[in-house]
Structure 1
Amino acid sequence: MAATKYTEDSIKSLEWHEHIRLRPGMYIGKLGDGQSPDDGIYVLVKEIIDNSIDEFVMGAGKKIEINIDDHAARVRDYGRGIPLGKVIDCVSKINTGGKYDSEAFQKSVGLNGVGTKAVNALSTKFIVKSYRDGRMKQAEFSRGVLVQDYKECATNEKNGTEIYFEPDADIFKNYRFLPAYMEEKVWNYAYLNNGLQLVMNDKVYTSPNGLLDLLNKHVDDSIRYPVIHFKGKDIECAFTHGNQYGEHYYSFVNGQHTTQGGTHQQAFREGLVKGARDHFKKDLDPQDVRNCVIGAISVRIQEPVFESQTKTKLGSTTVAPGGAQLRSWVVDYVASEFDNFLHKNPETEKALLNRITQNERERKEIAGIKKLANERAKKANLHNRKLRDCKIHLTDVKNALNRESMIFITEGDSASGSITKARNVQTQAVFSLRGKPLNSFGMTKKVVYENEEFNLLQHALDIENGLENLRYDKVIIATDADVDGMHIRLLLMTFFLQFFPELVEQKHLYILQTPLFRVRNKQVTKYCYDEAERDKAAKEIGKTGLEITRFKGLGEISPEEFGQFINEDMRLETVSIPPDASLGKMLEYYMGNNTPMRQEHIVLNLRAEAVEEL
């Protein structure tokens, strides 16, 4: 085969907006349609709000107004306003901004001058207004291209910046802003910025007690002692112990929610262990100290280093105040404050020791069965018929495709067979269930080792000791869209929420949406995910030669068709915990022994919908 010519003409230079539009994932992570809390449209809003938050942190403006509808967002702050002569540059020239000089923005979230430009490039309509000392400058863009440069004029508006944008529907297919996801993000801004008033769609969000308010909103009456809360210069933390397995953390850097944790969160965990060991003068096992912890930490540091533009994980190690190492600064602060607090609060000290002792007793009780179960799992892994593994895993940090690794958990051999034949063997694994898994609600972690299927599943994911060695970025529940499939889905979600809630909190657990209908004639085939899509497709195709097939199970979908649903056009729904929900109460309501209460809820919320005749 002849070699492709490589000449001067082969070298291309893209305009800034062209590069962002060509590679949006580099700037905002995944795209999505707004059905998941980490979809790109929410990152766009966050990038704009972050700039307004930075103004507040610098002492300029105590109010931020946010208006969100299905397809547009507006953010108005009352900070200093962008210098009028630089308004266009600040939203359309990469590496232009006021955050490179640490004296101006000492502990900012946005550091590299990209965020607002990415919003501009990825919006069909982007309007920026700056109000400054009785003067206003306005400019309008479309997909990063300036379409209207308004002359500077007088105004009665208070100082500040206002940005309105409409995400590009060509990039964010069928997108819609969901209020619940936006509300969680706005509450986080309130918790981290005492004295700031946020107003979103006329609802006011404020938090006088910071992380203490955050944790009190997320815990229930099953906690072992009242939330402990410390606040110092550039650091704040809060924590308690509950009855849910695992460790639950909310971590932030300069106001950014680091959902994947990082250096500061790891140091917080170490500080809790050190503080307990120092106080009780015992070499306590870290698992016993941290199991069932519910905690939150926020730090403000200069020039934080994140692992990506989306800033979900902190990679900094040496940028704590005074040039100290971040890890040692956090560990020492948490341990010292924890130790001092326990000396002054004997009731909390007693409750904490009881929780640690209970964790230790449970750990030792399952030590024997854990050893046997792990030995069985190791043998099974050599010829594990349940797992069809892929070649690239999340732990392969040197492989650029590691973030694309995923595992489908299927019911039965027929469904797993179709997915196995259609999957990408590089990044897609399949784990096949034998049938309906056990309802693990209310059980101890002993059941994870006693139940062979659960044990093999935790080993396939490698999450026995936390998420540090998680082998797949996405854990996808792929069940039939019938009653039995929904039941299996619930049982699996209960298993993960009960014993590995971090998997859900860090947005690794998903539901695969598979089509319910195939609508076609000899020329056109459309796959539909609900009745509304089916009816719409049928009308578009017409009655001549129309054929509508209802898929009863995944096993009925051919491997050729499945390849489209898990590669080209995969629809995933993120499993997430509602921002105002108690995990313990939620599990008890849906999976506990309160059948009459659930039955009453179902009866009261039944809906009857008329289906239009085709």
Structure 2
Amino acid sequence: MSEENKITTEYTDDNIRHLSDMEHVRTRPGMYIGRLGDGSMPEDGIYVLLKEVIDNSIDEFKMNAGKRIEIDIDNNLSVMVRDYGRGIPQGKLIEAVSVLNTGGKYDSKAFKKSVGLNGVGIKAVNALSSRFEVRSYRDGTVRTATFERGVLKSDTTEETQDETGTYIYFVPDDTLFKNYSFHHDFVETMLRNYTYLNTGLTIMYNGRRILSRNGLEDLLNDTMTNDGIYPIIHLKGEDIEIAFTHTNQYGEEYHSFVNGQHTTQGGTHQSAFKEHIARTIKEFFNKNFEYTDIRNGLVAAIAVNVEEPMFESQTKIKLGSLTMSPDGVSVNKYVGDFIKNEVDNYLHKHSDVAEVMLQKIQASEKERKEMAGVTKLARERAKKANLHNRKLRDCRIHFSDVKNNRKEESSIFITEGDSASGSITKSRDVNTQAVFSLRGKPLNSFGLTKKVVYENEEFNLLQAALDIEDGLDTLRYNKVIVATDADVDGMHIRLLIITFFLQFFPELIKKGHVYVLQTPLFRVRNRRTKVRNKKALEDVKGKKGDFITRYCYSDEERVKAIEELGPDPEITRFKGLGEISPDEFVNFIGPDMRLEQVTLHKTDQVQKLLEYYMGKNTPERQNFIIDNLVIEEDRPEEEEKF
């Protein structure tokens, strides 16, 4: 063995470490909550912490113990959750919130259909909070324990006349969740989902009441951006509830839940629903329909209760269970039998709904057949292009890679022009970040049929790159990031791409996969020797280079940077992504990149907005432009660059 290959680091008893439960959670938080983040994304860790606390209160409600949950988030930083269930048994209170694999839900007799089964959730909240307080109200006494980063600081018991239940207060540790903030929209969506799945439950959120009287029917009514073409079909059974209708949108859209948990990535129950709803409708009409024609435009929700559910990760966003209980019927058969009986009966009883459904399916079939020749040609073209697709610089890890623990990180940047895509390509993470380059402005697809997706080479290649022709089950990237210049042309291209997704793949936006990349408008920098602001110097302590640099995304940030780095800093204004060097671009697409999620709500009136902004020129829009036209004067040359 050569000297170069010799092992030089000793491996001794001192290298073997034992971590306490709380130390282990803090050392490997990703194992317990998936990711950290700052709260700007709905999957960020602070929402997982909140969910883990609420799950326990929901489980109390499911056991008919407490119909009200109070949640207060103060200043978007600290959280209080109070339920009126039975309260954590006081003798084991400390262990219940600080010792892993300790809980009251392993016994199926007590918690048959629980979400929080693993004995981990609340302990992770404790370990990852700078302050954590738990109170258990039982039998006229309250036991209170406080922790800091998982370490017990106080433990008291006293008499009380308050109602039984559990109180949790926590402040996420800002040394882990840097610059975090809870976003109201994300929290409210989470809470509304809880109420849809638990009719009769009242959640008080910052003093406002949230409840649902009609379960999944309310969910569809509150979330559909296109009206159903027939009344929502809402059916309930033991341990299962479904609701669905057809709309005039393209594609399919599903909301699925297990034991009150929103399974955003579906799982065995959602797959069973898709299979059996299409089969039942096909058999009812006794026609040789394609399943894709039956499900085109379908918007649906399914909720099941599974005994001892198995999820594919601790964050519980995809069901892996094959059976409804360890010794019970399969999920597929249970869902299939319910749909076969109940949906078939409903359609026989409501012939008017069945007739509208039939017309919708036949219209989808007709359109598909009209596109058959174009579709075949486009697929062949896309297949050839995929062998050497100049527009796509792919990455190694994809969202559809079932067993890869980094699949959530997979993303694709949709860029304009070769210069911008070149900078991103050179600075990206080749494992998780792909790049798709547009050629100029894409076609305005508003008002066009899906035929254009196949006739337009650019749209067809983008569809093929994302692999969403047959739905989101095969989506290759978790984040679809539109990366365009922050000028008028860039904004127009951004709008055209989002219009394309809204028109033909709305679920991509509704499921939270589409983002806009925020890139800096200015670079402000100054030599270290000129910077007098001590904090600015401390922020870059130990980093190499003669300059201290601030990248600014707005005029306000530019002014602040000048104040910090003065006197006479060098200011550069970026006029396009292509002007940013790869060495600098790596700062903007790394772990701390700024993304703005494209969201879609029922109140957005999408069709009217698209008609106004993307439809044929209307007098209203022309008048709006004339009335609001602003001539922006160029900045003084000395402000551009020093």
2:68 matched to which residue of 1?
A: 63
Residue 217 of structure 1 and its aligned partner are, at CA, apart by 1.8
Structure 1: 4+ residue segments shifted above 6 A: 596-604
- Which amino acid letter does the alignment assign opposite residue 573 of structure 2? R
Would you say the 8 A contact 2:280–2:344 is kept in 1?
A: yes
Residue 320 of structure 1 and its aligned partner are, at CA, apart by 4.9
1:540 matched to which residue of 2?
A: 564
1:317 matched to which residue of 2?
A: 322
TM-score (norm 2): 0.90
Residue 585 of structure 1 and its aligned partner are, at CA, apart by 5.1
SS at match of 2:527: coil
Residue 282 of structure 1 and its aligned partner are, at CA, apart by 2.1
Residues 85 and 353 (structure 1), Cα distance of their counterparts in 2 relative to 1, 3 Å cut = same
1:143 matched to which residue of 2?
A: 149
- Which amino acid letter does the alignment assign opposite residue 130 of structure 1? S
**Whole-Å separation in 2 of the counterparts to 1:301 and 1:539:** 58
2:595 matched to which residue of 1?
A: 572
- Which amino acid letter does the alignment assign opposite residue 539 of structure 1? E
2:540 matched to which residue of 1?
A: none
Residue 564 of structure 1 and its aligned partner are, at CA, apart by 2.0
Residues 105 and 594 (structure 1), Cα distance of their counterparts in 2 relative to 1, 3 Å cut = farther
Residues 590 and 215 (structure 1), Cα distance of their counterparts in 2 relative to 1, 3 Å cut = farther
**Whole-Å separation in 2 of the counterparts to 1:389 and 1:563:** 17
1:296 aligns with 2:287: no
Would you say the 8 A contact 2:525–2:569 is kept in 1?
A: yes
1:83 matched to which residue of 2?
A: 89
Residue 382 of structure 1 and its aligned partner are, at CA, apart by 2.3
**Whole-Å separation in 2 of the counterparts to 1:590 and 1:121:** 49
Higher mean alpha-carbon deviation, 477-486 vs 364-373, is at 477-486
Task: Name the % identity.
Answer: 62
Q: 1:243 aligns with which of 221, 241, 248?
A: 248
Residue 77 of structure 1 and its aligned partner are, at CA, apart by 0.4
Residues 590 and 335 (structure 1), Cα distance of their counterparts in 2 relative to 1, 3 Å cut = farther
1:161 aligns with 2:178: no
* Structure with the greater alpha carbon radius of gyration: 2
SS at match of 2:42: coil
Higher mean alpha-carbon deviation, 18-27 vs 176-185, is at 18-27
Deviations 1:168-195 (A, max 9, x none): 1111121111111111111111111111
Residue 601 of structure 1 and its aligned partner are, at CA, apart by 8.8
- Which amino acid letter does the alignment assign opposite residue 15 of structure 2? S
Residues 396 and 223 (structure 1), Cα distance of their counterparts in 2 relative to 1, 3 Å cut = closer
2:126 matched to which residue of 1?
A: 120
Higher mean alpha-carbon deviation, 278-287 vs 109-118, is at 278-287
Residue 300 of structure 1 and its aligned partner are, at CA, apart by 0.6
Residues 599 and 27 (structure 1), Cα distance of their counterparts in 2 relative to 1, 3 Å cut = farther
Residues 57 and 396 (structure 1), Cα distance of their counterparts in 2 relative to 1, 3 Å cut = closer
- Which 5+ residue runs of structure 1 have no aligned equivalent? none
1:408 aligns with 2:413: yes
**Whole-Å separation in 2 of the counterparts to 1:113 and 1:306:** 14
**Whole-Å separation in 2 of the counterparts to 1:505 and 1:227:** 19
1:273 aligns with 2:297: no
Would you say the 8 A contact 1:64–1:197 is kept in 2?
A: yes
1:479 aligns with 2:484: yes
Deviations 1:385-443 (A, max 9, x none): 11122233333444444333221110011101111111222322211000111221222
Residue 285 of structure 1 and its aligned partner are, at CA, apart by 0.7
**Whole-Å separation in 2 of the counterparts to 1:592 and 1:192:** 39
SS at match of 1:564: coil
Higher mean alpha-carbon deviation, 570-579 vs 103-112, is at 570-579
**Whole-Å separation in 2 of the counterparts to 1:55 and 1:242:** 37
Residue 481 of structure 1 and its aligned partner are, at CA, apart by 1.6
- Which amino acid letter does the alignment assign opposite residue 43 of structure 2? D
TM-score (norm 1): 0.94
Would you say the 8 A contact 1:218–1:581 is kept in 2?
A: no
Higher mean alpha-carbon deviation, 316-325 vs 423-432, is at 316-325
Q: 1:555 aligns with which of 578, 602, 607?
A: 578
Residue 82 of structure 1 and its aligned partner are, at CA, apart by 0.7
Deviations 1:283-320 (A, max 9, x none): 32100110100111111111111111111111111225
Deviations 1:435-468 (A, max 9, x none): 1112212221101001110001111122111223
Residue 278 of structure 1 and its aligned partner are, at CA, apart by 2.1
1:18 aligns with 2:23: yes
Residues 221 and 379 (structure 1), Cα distance of their counterparts in 2 relative to 1, 3 Å cut = closer
Q: 2:202 aligns with which of 197, 200, 207?
A: 197
Higher mean alpha-carbon deviation, 228-237 vs 520-529, is at 520-529
How many equivalent pairs are there?
Answer: 607
2:12 matched to which residue of 1?
A: 7
Higher mean alpha-carbon deviation, 228-237 vs 416-425, is at 416-425
- Which amino acid letter does the alignment assign opposite residue 387 of structure 2? L
- Which amino acid letter does the alignment assign opposite residue 128 of structure 1? V
Would you say the 8 A contact 1:441–1:495 is kept in 2?
A: yes
Deviations 1:347-377 (A, max 9, x none): 1010000000001001101010001111111
**Whole-Å separation in 2 of the counterparts to 1:56 and 1:563:** 48
Residues 249 and 572 (structure 1), Cα distance of their counterparts in 2 relative to 1, 3 Å cut = same
RMSD of aligned alpha carbons: 2.3
SS at match of 2:437: strand
**Whole-Å separation in 2 of the counterparts to 1:197 and 1:244:** 33
Residues 375 and 520 (structure 1), Cα distance of their counterparts in 2 relative to 1, 3 Å cut = same
Would you say the 8 A contact 2:33–2:48 is kept in 1?
A: yes
**Whole-Å separation in 2 of the counterparts to 1:600 and 1:154:** 70
1:393 matched to which residue of 2?
A: 398
